[in-house]
Amino acid sequence: HLSRGLGCLNTILSLYPESERLHAVCMQDEFGWTALHWAAWSGVPDCIKLILSHYPETERLHVVSTPDNDGWTVLHCAARSGNLETIETILTLYPESERLPALGATTSHGNNVLHLVANSNNIESIKAVLSIYPESERHQVLNEQNERGNTVLDVMNEETRR
């Protein structure tokens, strides 16, 4: 599968005829993940940009916001990586009016983007994601619980103890 070769993605894509490259980056594995999910999970912004360059601009938002079999979007994967540039690369595809709903979308386990970025324990990324929320909503979002009953702060404490 194409996603296994993120380190040499450009080389792999060059093996496909130009007319088949979009199909190659769209292939899904058994979990519904594409090369874009894997690149975001790995926190490799250059690979994300390369993969996105094969999609028509009008399809890019749809591609990053479509959930996999467990409700994970590409933004969820980017958040879990904790890589700030990766998160920002994906977020810039969303119109400003759609960023808060995208951040609030939950996986099948009830984790939103802030839960997942907190799991990475990258303080700069946590601050950046939190700053997108209006100040009046920050306390509320920090206290939202996933299906295990954990808030963002619980997730951070859990990661700190490991």
pLDDT 10s digits, 115-139? 999 999 899 999 999 999 999 999 9
Contact yes or no for 6/35 (Cβ under 8 A): yes
Instruction: List the structure tokens of 155.
Output: 């997730």
What is residue 161's predicted lDDT score, i.e. its pLDDT?
A: 52
Going by pLDDT thresholds of 50, 70 and 90, the confidence category of residue 4 is very low
What is residue 41's predicted lDDT score, i.e. its pLDDT?
A: 93
Instruction: List the structure tokens of 55.
Output: 């999609």
Distance from C-alpha of 34 to C-alpha of 41, rounded to nearest angstrom: 11
Going by pLDDT thresholds of 50, 70 and 90, the confidence category of residue 7 is low
pLDDT digits (tens, 9 = 90+) for 42-93: 898 888 998 898 899 999 999 999 999 999 999 999 999 999 999 999 999 9
Neighbours of 27 (CB within 10 A): 12
- Given a cut of 60, whether residue 6 has pLDDT beyond it is no
